[in-house]
Amino acid sequence: MAFAKWIVAFVAVYGFGGVLADFVIPATARMHMKNPHWPPHAKFHNGQTMLMGVFAGILSLCCLFAVHPLTLPWFFAGLAAASLYWIGLAFAQLFPGTAWHDPEFDADVSHPLGLNPQQLLGYLLCLLLVIAAGLALWMRYKN
Whether residue 143 is predicted with pLDDT greater than 70 in this model: the reply is no
Whether residue 83 is predicted with pLDDT greater than 90 in this model: the reply is yes
pLDDT tens per residue, range 55-65 = 999 999 999 99
Indicate the range of 7-11, 38-42, 111-115, 117-121 predicted with least confidence. Answer: 111-115
- What domain count does the chain have? 1
Look up the domain containing 73 and give its range.
2-142
Q: What is the mean pLDDT of the chain?
A: 93
Residues 6+ apart with CB under 8 A from 21: 28, 29, 32
